[in-house]
């Protein structure tokens, strides 16, 4: 399975934003369960995207892995570039996992108030 060409890092950044906008657009006070479900689904999918990063990371390799580089603003020679090294690789799934915990804790906390 070739993971180096897949945009896993970009997906791990964009999916929470997309689900956040979806919750913002569809969430209403009249239907808090929809907000909870959408938030949890978004957090779980975002965390699932980071699992192949853990499995595909090569500890023996030096330098950046899962590198994504795309031309962004040609006029200024600016690029969109992402990559992870040995330390930052663990922060990506950790952040996604903590997001799942926060969404579950917030759901439990708000359901006690209702």
What are the C-alpha distances in Å from 66 to residues 21, 83, 95? 26, 5, 17
pLDDT tens figures, 41-93: 999 999 999 999 999 999 999 899 999 999 999 999 999 999 999 899 999 99
Instruction: Look up the pTM and report it.
Output: 0.83
21-33 tens-digit pLDDT:
999 998 877 888 8
pLDDT of 1 reads 46
Query: Span 30-43, mean pLDDT?
Result: 91
């Amino acid at each position: 399975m070739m993971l180096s060409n897949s945009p896993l890092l970009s997906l791990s950044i964009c999916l929470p934003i997309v689900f956040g906008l979806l919750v913002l657009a569809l969430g209403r006070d009249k239907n808090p369960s929809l907000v909870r479900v959408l938030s949890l689904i978004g957090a779980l999918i975002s965390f699932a995207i980071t699992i192949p990063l853990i499995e595909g990371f090569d500890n023996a390799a030096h330098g950046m892995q899962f590198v994504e580089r795309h031309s962004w603003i040609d006029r200024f020679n600016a690029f969109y570039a992402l990559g992870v090294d040995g330390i930052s690789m663990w922060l990506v799934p950790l952040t996604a996992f903590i997001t799942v915990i926060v969404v579950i804790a917030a759901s439990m906390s708000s359901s006690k108030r209702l």
